Amino acid sequence: MKMKTECKDMIVMRAVLSTMQRQVKEKNEEIARLRRASIVQLWERERQKVLCEVLEREQALKEETEDKTAQWMELKEKLIKKLKAQEEEIQKLRLKEKIYAKSLSRLDNQGLKEELKSLRQQLLLTEKDLRDSHSEILMQQQRTAAFLKGLNTHLQKAAVKQSSGYYLPSEDFQYICSQLDVICRAVRDGTLRTLPSGSPEALLTLPQVTFRPSLESKAPSTLSPSNTPRAGTARG
């Protein structure tokens, strides 16, 4: 009788132990499931945070680029007008110089000599101003192109973030980078007014610019937005 009671107790204890082991296993599985869900939620929150930061940075870069482009266009228009006025002044001075030179060949007039000397000095100063204006345009083109090239690099760093093996580019990332390439090429070549509407071209390295105008050369032709001095010749 005693043996039967002990056997019965053993069976009950084994059943209770089995039940407890099953419950422990279920609890462990539940804990693991909750842990995985928590990690997924944290990852999603981090992803949304990164996405918001990228979009905000991208918008700021777009606005900064548009502002710099507008400033460059305004400066370019002013410089072109200044160059045109200087070229016209040089042409007038050259014409006066020729007229007075012919007069001096026939007359020995000290007053005409002095005026011719003054005209030549004025011509030299005007040509110097013209060279300075050309150099200023080239310098502005290089600075603006360098700014846009750096902006493109910052945009790529801001728009793509690597974390735990995944990449998160913004929707307009490729489009904005390509447009920056187009603007940079146009600024470098002095053709910002005539930006192409087709596919953007790859950004080229800016060459060194050497500007050596000659006082003996003829007055440069009147500039227009399509023939503004270029910052060197591009090398593919």
Q: Bridge partners of 167?
A: 162
On the 0-12 / 13-18 / 19+ scale of CB atoms within 10 A, 150 is exposed
Neighbours of 185 (CB within 10 A): 21
pLDDT digits (tens, 9 = 90+) for 33-56: 888 878 878 888 887 887 888 788
SS3 for 173-212, per residue? HHHHHHHHHHHHHHHHHCCHHHCCCCCCCCCCCCCCCCCC
What is the C-alpha radius of gyration for the chain, rounded to an integer number of angstroms? 38
Whole-number Å distance between alpha carbons of 188 and 202: 13
Of the two residues 119 and 207, the one the predictor is more confident about is 119
Residue 104 three-state SS: helix
pLDDT digits (tens, 9 = 90+) for 136-163: 777 777 777 777 777 777 666 655 554 4
User: Over 70: is that where the pLDDT of 232 sits?
Assistant: no
| Residue 199 confidence (pLDDT) above 70 | no
**What is the model's pLDDT at position 41?**
80
Tell me what pLDDT residue 207 has: 34
- pLDDT tier at 4, thresholds 50, 70, 90: low
| Tens-digit pLDDT profile for residues 164-189 | 444 445 555 666 667 777 777 776 67
- The 10 Å Cβ neighbour count of residue 130 is 20
pLDDT tier for residue 108 given thresholds of 50, 70 and 90:
low
User: Tokens at residue 75, please?
Assistant: 């400066």
pLDDT for residue 111 is more than 60: yes
pLDDT tens digits for 51-83? Answer: 888 788 878 878 887 888 788 788 878 888 888
